[in-house]
Structure 1
Amino acid sequence: MTTQSQALAPTQNTLMAAISNPGALGTIEAYIAAVNRLPVLTQAQETELGKRLRDHEDLDAARQLILSHLRLVVSISRQYLGYGLAHADLIQEGNIGLMKAVKRFDPERGVRLVSFAVHWIKAEIHEYIVRNWRMVKVATTKAQRKLFFNLRRMRPDGQTLDPSQVADIAQELNVRPEDVSEMEVRLSGREMALEAPADDEDAYAPVSYLSDEGRQEPSQVLERRAHDTLQGPALAEALEGLDARSRHIVESRWLRDEGGATLHELADEYGISAERVRQIEAAAFKKLKVALAH
């Protein structure tokens, strides 16, 4: 190892450990400063390392290719700071794209790794932004993604687009005008909590006005339907399967409109103990449960 390589080794080892978490060096500024101190490979060095990785799966060659292009990820990630996401997170996702590019790099195609890696780095950052910019995903189709990353730049002063501007943008990006209008609405909207904060009792949240009092929720409809079924023919048929004493005890205890009979009242009626009445009732409930389940 040369003297220069020996001097850089601690920095390189630290950076390799920090690739998945750029903030691990203390601050993002410290990471960027360390990245910018790394030497840039010549084309001949890059070709040699690429062949070693391709032909021999040389991980040290892959490490050197990755480290020499970390500054590229930092540069590209700066273009996406306007989306309100942490710079360290953008760099982290870009580093993943860089590693994918290094893995697929063919040194004999005559293309420098820097040109090949730009696509992979941007693709990973784009995916991360679309996935995390809002709680609700705003772009899923190819046309929506294209609009998401271009519409803010193309809107004059962020103002609402008129029909002619919508048509111009749609033509330039080769998408439908209705796609432009839909994405404009999505970008202009903002997220809102469904419920008010727990410490603000006076807040008026969407949960207060989104429910339709004229309609029951599906769970309430199913509950009412089940209740009606149990109160109707199904229950009458299940009761018919009980012996006369068990049916009388259940009806007296639970199916009267007025107050039901007590265990002791039924015990006196049948000349048995209250505990025996409870046992008969429990056995009757088991039979009713089986009958009503069919």
Structure 2
Amino acid sequence: MKNPSVNTALMPIETNALALGFSGTLGNIDAYISAVNRLPMLTHDEEVSLAKQLRDKNDLGAAQKLVLSHLRLVVSIARGYLGYGLPHADLIQEGNIGLMKAVKRFDPDQGVRLVSYAMHWIKAEMHEYILKNWRLVKVATTKAQRKLFFNLRSHKEGLDAMTPSQVDALAKTLNVKREEVIEMETRLTGRDIALDAPTDDDDEKFAPIAYLSSELQEPTKVLEAQRYDRMQSEGLESALSKLDERSRRIVEARWLANDDGSGATLHELADEFGVSAERIRQIEAVALKKMKGSLAAFS
């Protein structure tokens, strides 16, 4: 979330720089609003003339006058969004950005007053700011969800959960599914929960981080497990198939006969094949080396 400090959200404005009614440097939100409300409003003819100067001659002075004369509109709109618990100064700042975008795109030949045209841009910037900063996790991402988010807050009565009849009525009014209304209300009434451990010393309490995370579900662990399972099945069978019959028998008897790893001894296999225990060890070493090369393709 942005720093709520007014000094960073609302840039100080000097009388000499604007010569449009500000008196001194504005250092707090109340002084800013008071100064904005004292700025003169433009007549329709003045507005059209300034807009044409900006469009045809890129006159930044004209743009400044158009912006300044509509700052009170931003303040008025921002006041309507104070219920979201975000700093008033930040809301005004975002609205001012929308106002400047509107002034840049305003066409005086359309016959529409700037105040009507700018409202869309001002609200759009405020909406974007609210959705990004109201919660750590976004509550609305699609255009339809955003519309439902703001309409639901204005239609919802109090803090109590909506009744089925209220849900149905609102879904009909907004032309959305009742399931979507229920889901958005759940998002609105939910709250952010810290994942870190609690600050007290109560051993009986656990923060969500203690039970939401699991090493078994960690991506690298999952990939390792999948790779190991594949090596145990496809890889092992493929490696064994490349050994001669005696070598395969020795490896299976030594390492794969029992799950606990208690396979045949070198002497037992030596008696079976009529060779020395050392010879069995040599055959085993060569077979394991060959298998390691085959298993490399599955790692």
Q: Same fold by TM (over 0.5)?
A: yes
Q: Which residue of 2 aligns with 1:127?
A: 128
1:50 offset after TM fit, Å? 0.7
What is the percentage of aligned positions where both structures have the same residue?
61
CA distance in 2, matches of 1:65, 1:117: 11
TM-score relative to the length of structure 2: 0.67
Q: Does 1:116 align with 2:117?
A: yes
Structure 2 unmatched runs, 5+ = 1-13, 241-260, 262-291
Q: Structure 1 residues 176, 49: closer, same or farther in 2, change over 3 A?
A: same
Q: Structure 2: which amino acid aligns with 1:206?
A: P
CA displacement 1:93-135 (0-9 Å, x = unmatched): 1011101110111112222111111111011111111111111
| Equivalent AA in structure 1 for residue 123 of structure 2 | K
Deviation of residue 210 (structure 1)? 2.6
Residue 95 of structure 1 corresponds to 96
Query: What is the total number of aligned residue pairs between the two structures?
Result: 238
Amino acid at match of 1:146: K
Q: Could you tell me which residue of structure 1 aligns to residue 276 of structure 2?
A: none
**C-alpha distance in structure 2 between counterparts of 1:68 and 1:28, whole Å:** 18
Q: Which amino acid aligns with 1:121?
A: I
Aligned to 1:205: 207
Please tell me the residue identity of whatever aligns with 1:49: L
Match of 1:162 in 2: 163
Distance 1:200 1:64, change over 3 A: farther
Give, in whole Å, the separation in 2 of the partners of 1:216 and 1:152: 37
Query: Over residues 152-195 of structure 1, what are the superposed CA-to-partner deviations in whole Å (9 max), with x where a residue is unaligned?
Result: 22122232122221111111112221111111111111111222
Residue of structure 1 in register with 2:54 after alignment: 53
- 2:50, 2:62 within 8 Å by CA — same for their partners in 1? yes
Distance 1:11 1:200, change over 3 A: farther
> 1:32 Cα shift?
1.4
**Amino acid corresponding to residue 208 of structure 1 in structure 2:** A
Question: TM-score, structure 1 length as denominator?
Answer: 0.68
Is the alpha carbon distance of 1:199 and 1:117 closer, same or farther for their aligned partners in structure 2, counting shifts above 3 Å?
Answer: same
Task: Give matches, 1:275-294, under 5 Å.
Answer: 292=296
Q: Distance in 2 between matches of 1:225 and 1:105?
A: 59
Q: CA–CA distance in 2 between the matches of 1:87 and 1:72? A: 14
Deviations 1:239-266 (A, max 9, x none): xxxxxxxxxxxxxxxxxx9xxxxxxxxx
**TM alignment of 1:1-294, pairs within 5 A:** 9-11=16-18, 25-197=26-198, 202=203, 203-211=205-213, 217-224=218-225, 292=296
Q: Is contact 1:234–1:292 with CA below 8 Å preserved after alignment?
A: no
Decide whether aligned partners of structure 1 residues 235 and 111 sit closer, same or farther in structure 2, where only a CA change above 3 A counts: same
Q: What is the DSSP-based 3-state SS (H/G/I as helix, E as strand, rest coil) of the residue aligned with 2:100?
A: helix
- Please report how far the alpha carbon of residue 228 of structure 1 lies from its aligned counterpart in structure 2 after TM superposition: 7.7
- Give, as a single letter, the amino acid of the residue that structure 2 aligns with 1:210: L
Gaps of 5+ in 1: 1-6, 16-23, 237-256, 258-287
Aligned-partner Cα distance in 2 for 1:71–1:154: 26
Q: In 1, Cα distance between the equivalents of 2:201 and 2:26?
A: 40
Distance 1:192 1:234, change over 3 A: farther
Question: Partner of 1:20 in structure 2?
Answer: none
